Structure 1
Amino acid sequence: MKVHELVGMSGTVPPALDSPLTSERLAEVRDLYDQVYAPGLEKFFETEWYTKPQGVSALISNAAVNEMLAGFLQSMAKTDANDVAGMQYSANLEFRVVWDLASLVYTSEYKVNVGDRLPPSDDGSEARNRVSVFEALLSGDYLDQNPLHPPPANSDIRLHRIREFKFWYWLAEFLRLVDQPGMDMLRQRDYFLGQMRELLDGRENRDVLYSLAVIRALAPNFPPDFESTLPPHLDESDPKNKLAVARKFVQDESQVTGGTTNVVRRFAELAVRAFIVPGNNIIRR
């Protein structure tokens, strides 16, 4: 299932607006974007594009996204904490909010950055390519080529930025591995997962992305109920246990008390839909 299909699984659609989009309501939309979603998206994709002029301009010029955000605010204002159905509706609507805002970056030019110099932190093409890599990861798709900037071996560049680019580059390389008849891809997948694991650096977004890569690599090898046969103590050197740890982490991140931002929580919940329940994007080998 594509990401937009995962988003739409609940059947939730934005509510009709009670009144036209006035300048006051647009200011509320902009404030919600600035305070909640843009920072969360930037943290997840490790970019500054969403809060810089390019990202803000993409929001302002997109009438459909503004109306959807206004409808989301409207539904939240009409729902109190005791309205279970209303709270669930708003929660489901937030999937669309998060993904539509993430997709604003697709207004940026598509190009593959190359060369010894890393692109700036607000580079639209690099941000766009990271979102597309994440979309392929969630959708169960593969990449024909790696669209992300290869990390240069340049000691003049801050080490943490090199590690950032390395992590995303290896994630995209992982998504180029397609099963082929007569070929055992296990060693290559393990190599790419190992490269990513060395670059987690305690960052929540990378932990989520790495866990999703682990699930995509290992889940096809086990039945859906494999967790019923797990031992009490998990040794992650065992692939089954490694898969169980990754699944639990993603499920925990999807909870209200899990991920540190709305963006992480909704992305983790989309991953649960894709890879765990109902898990339509896992094809058993």
Structure 2
Amino acid sequence: MPFIPNFPASFLEEHRRWHHVNHHNNPASLPIGYGANFLDFHRQYLAKVLPWYQQQGYDMRLVAPWQEVPEQIRSAPCYDRAAEMRIRNNPESFATADELGRFLEASNLHGCIHEIGAALYGEPDLNDFDVAPHSTIFYNIHGMIEQWYQNWERAKGLRLNSVRGAKKRDSGLTGRRTGGLRGAARRKSKLLRRSGAGKLRRRVGGKPGQTTGNRKPGKVKGNLWMRPAARPQLRIKGGEGKTASAAKRPLTARRLAGRGRRTIP
């Protein structure tokens, strides 16, 4: 089943638009950034299309990545075996993902595989980027390229970003990754733990400086939440610690005149 039935037109349009917007006549002199964009776009594309394909109940074996480039393609005049061996056996020689992606195009590996694959399997659409994704062979090819990409990531000690859980990097030139929302949450949690603000937030049930319920705001001193100082209670002279309220003394003119004093004579 090289031709995928009921393939959504929106998927074809997405792939067609990317290649038209990013098209360059000379693959040997691609601009900086093209290679990383190429690799990341196709990674995201596989992550979108393959789950749809599986939901249709189609045979996943037909879109499985090639583990080797077919020998008939390798034997073609346009194919650069040395370029393939460098990618597979010496991935660390590429400083960035962008360099790897541009090398795939400059060496004509990507173009030659599509061109010879179309002739070899009787799939002319495979050599037309506007409609190539509705062929199962497209996913054999780009699944293999995705494996080469992951092999480069392993060689560089970067966290793998699989097809099914792809997240785009901060920059195609540095190889750094965002880690997605989970990574951002972990970094935020770590910063809170270091500053002590995490404990503060849990204690007051909100952001530092906020209150919960009817609690009156206090002052933040360092990482400690300071409650408002209690008002001094009136002490009864000779009352052994009893307060005026505890004594329940009647409110007299003398007491009114003495308000503001700490003791009642």
TM-score (norm 1): 0.26
Higher helix fraction: Structure 1 or Structure 2?
A: 1
Find the structure with the greater CA-based Rg.
Answer: 2
TM-score (norm 2): 0.28
